[in-house]
Chain A
Amino acid sequence: MSGGETITLLLGLVVAGWTWTRWYVDLRRVARLRRGAAHRLAPALAPLAAAAAVWLILRHWASFDVRDSSTYLFFYMVLGGAWVGMVARLGFPRLGVSARDDALERANVPASLAVGGAVLGTALCYAGANIGDGPSFAVVVFCAGLSTTAFLLLWLLVELAGRLSESLTVERDPGAGWRAACLFVALGAILGRSVAGDWVSAEATVRDFAFHAWPAGALAVGAAALEAGLRPCIARARLPVFLSGLLPGAVFLGAGALLVLDRGPW
């Protein structure tokens, strides 16, 4: 490992260790008097599922010098842990949903579903950046930055146009929880796929990204319209979760999977 990689690894260990230790300590300590564990399930399992997804992608589709090297597999897992941890800690609350404040402290199951989906979506953004051959970890950071920034901007779009956080944290609408979770996973899959491939240049990466990622924007616009239309209000009774959450969520996931399959190998 180079000097830069060693410093990055140490920094990543500190950041990943701090963010995920705090995450799981919060899961154990915050609002323990509340009954039930449903609101803790998604925040507890999503990071593990995200780690498994990143590991599988690294092991099978990362650069040839990474997938067979335990040192580099560890390095990119740590980097991913730090990446997703920082986004979850600093990004999610600024978009209106907090793992600690909403999912745990208020035992808000819809918010916890959304947080779980957002952790997975962010992890897929990062995992996609590891697919293909590249000269150094800097290109992984560049690609992950591209996909993750797009992910957060599209979330912001859904928030501003559809007031997603209102549905999740104030209305505590279960349908919104499932919609958001599935949307985030679908966006992560599309955006992760959009930065996958062998490295050529920064310009080519951005060009490819724009070509592959635009359906994610369309999906976010559709989700924002759906959010505004389905939020419980005085004029509209709350729909059954299957109709308002699971069905649209399945459509989001299906659209994401179809788009990734349609793009084919990188």
Chain B
Amino acid sequence: MTTTRELVYEAWAPPDARWSAWAKPTLFASVQDGEAAEAPALLPPAPYDVSSLPDPASDLALVVDLPGVDSVRAGLALAARGYRAVPLFNASDGPNAVLDTARIRLALVGAVGRLESLRLPPDAPPVFLLDAERCEPRHMPEPGMFDNRWVVLPQDFPSASALLARGVRRAIVVQKPLDMLRADLGHVLRRWQEGGIAIFWVEPSISVVTPVDVPKPSRFRGLWYRLSLIAGLRRNASGGFGSPIPVPPPPGSGGFHGGWG
């Protein structure tokens, strides 16, 4: 399939859809005109099978926090059941990247045809898609690599009052087996919980939805929480995160080799 970044982005974030304002354009900006991609398998592999999750309901929102492309697969499988997948991937792609966002991007491109054929209603309940490896990469960042680690902030999600105003009363977090709730997501969920949203957790392989009491994370609602969280990450000039880590110069040559993303 040949497409453009605008078309791909609008397929995932249609202008008339209720939750499109929260979809992140960052990764879509890396889509090249004419980029072809093989459509990924519709169903996520075990142990990330989401077929047993509750059916879409107007009072329900899902947060899928699975590794890399499995998050897209899960989102697409849930979209086929009537959820609106809202991609929150906020990292750019680059050569020698710390996170393999290229695969996520290709999966997003490849899913466009399938997504458009679903003809979801504008008010379909949301499933927010995250990469569980966003700040826990398989490769440690080193000079010369493209550091595209990223985090989520409360500003990246609808507030509790915005969810309540749209009828959402419950949120289910989908994570891989034995996974801990990530601290950055904890700030979001704790706010939701305090705002009156019931939080549940599900491990897809078990399919038992469990109520969760999200503990208050450190620096919760702190004025400088956001600045301190993103301080060690690299921003991208077009938005989101991701830029090269400068290579230290050889002794005696002076200056750094690197650049802006």
Q: How far is the CA of A107 from the CA of B13 in the complex (A)?
A: 14
The CA-CA distance from A234 to B165 in the complex, in Å, is 9
- From the candidates B155, B162, B164, B237, name the one contacting A101 in the complex (CB within 8 A): B155
Number of A-B contacts (CB under 8 A): 70
Q: Which of B15, B165, B221 contacts A166 (CB 8 A)?
A: B221
Interface of A is mostly: loop
Residues B221 and A234 in contact, CB atoms below 8 Å apart: no
- Does B227 reach chain A (CB closer than 8 Å)? yes
Smallest Cβ distance from B238 to chain A, in angstroms?
5
Q: Is the interface of B mostly helix, strand, loop or mixed?
A: helix
Which stretch from B20-28, B52-60, B120-128, B141-149 is at the chain A interface? B20-28
Identify B154's interface contact among A101, A170, A238, CB under 8 A.
A170
Q: Chain B residues near A163 (CB, 8 Å)?
A: 221
What residues of B have a CB within 8 angstroms of the CB of A25 in the complex?
Answer: 237
Chain A window 140-181, contacts with chain B (Cβ cutoff 8 Å), 1 for yes, 0 for no? 000000000000000000011001011001111000000000
Contact residue range for chain B? Answer: 20 to 34
B195 contacts A32, C-beta separation under 8 Å: no
Indicate if the CB atoms of A106 and B160 lie closer than 8 Å. Answer: no
Q: Give the size of the chain A interface in residues (CB under 8 angstroms).
A: 33
Task: Report chain A residues within 8 Å CB of B221.
Answer: 163, 166
Within 8 A of B (CB), among A112-166: 159-160, 163, 165-166
Q: Which of B140-184 contact A (CB under 8 A)?
A: 154-156, 159-162, 164-165
**Residues from chain B with Cβ under 8 Å of A101 in the complex:** 155, 226
Query: Which residues in A have their C-beta under 8 angstroms from that of B29?
Result: 31-33
Most chain B CB within a 10 A radius of its CB, from A29, A33, A104, A166 = A33
Once the chains bind, are B237 and A171 in contact (CB under 8 Å)?
no
Identify which of residues 222-260 in chain A touch chain B, using a CB-to-CB cut-off of 8 Å.
Answer: 232-234, 237-238
Distance A33 CA – B12 CA, assembled complex (angstroms): 12
Q: Min CB distance, A173 to chain B, in Å?
A: 9
> Quick one: CB contact mask for B20-42 with A, threshold 8 Å, 1 for yes?
01000110110000000000000
Whether the pair A238, B161 counts as a contact (CB closer than 8 A) is yes
Q: Write the nearest CB–CB distance from A174 to chain B, whole angstroms.
A: 12
How far does the Cβ of A27 sit from chain B's closest Cβ, in whole Å?
12
A136 → chain B, closest Cβ, in Å? 36
User: Quick check: B238 and A30 within 8 Å, CB to CB?
Assistant: yes
When the two chains form the complex, which single residue of A29, A106, A233 contacts B195, counting CB atoms closer than 8 Å?
A233
Across the interface, A106 reaches (CB within 8 A) one of B9, B28, B156, B165, namely: B156
Name the distance in Å between A167's Cβ and chain B's nearest Cβ.
Answer: 9
The chain A residue with its CB closest to the CB of B26 is: A31
Task: Bits for B177-217, please: 1 = Cβ < 8 Å to A, else 0.
Answer: 00000000000000100011000000000000000000000
User: What A residues does B46 contact at CB under 8 A?
Assistant: none
Which residue from B9, B15, B195, B223 sits with its C-beta under 8 Å from A96? B223
Q: List the B side residues contacting A238 at CB < 8 Å.
A: 161, 165
Q: How far is the CB of A156 from chain B (nearest CB, A)?
A: 8
CA distance A234 to B164 in the complex (A): 7
A163–B191 CA distance with the chains assembled, in angstroms: 14
Q: Cα distance A93–B227 when bound, in Å?
A: 8
- In whole angstroms, how far apart are the Cα atoms of A222 and B63 in the complex? 38
A170-B191 in contact (CB<8A) = yes
Cβ 8 A contact of B160, one of A159, A160, A234: A234
> Nearest chain B CB to A93's CB is how many angstroms away?
6
A-side contacts of B159, CB under 8 Å: 170-172, 232
- Is A234 touching B161 in the complex (CB atoms < 8 A)? yes
| Chain B interface (Cβ < 8 Å from any Cβ of A) | 5-6, 9, 15, 21, 25-26, 28-29, 154-156, 159-162, 164-165, 191, 195-196, 221, 223-224, 226-227, 237-240
- 6 closest pairs, A vs B, by CB? A33-B25, A232-B161, A234-B196, A30-B239, A31-B239, A105-B239
Residues on A close to B: CB < 8 A? 25, 29-35, 93-96, 101-102, 104-108, 159-160, 163, 165-166, 169-172, 232-234, 237-238
Q: List 14 A-B contacts (CB under 8 A).
A: A32-B25, A32-B29, A32-B238, A33-B28, A94-B223, A94-B224, A159-B223, A163-B221, A165-B223, A171-B159, A171-B161, A171-B162, A172-B162, A238-B165
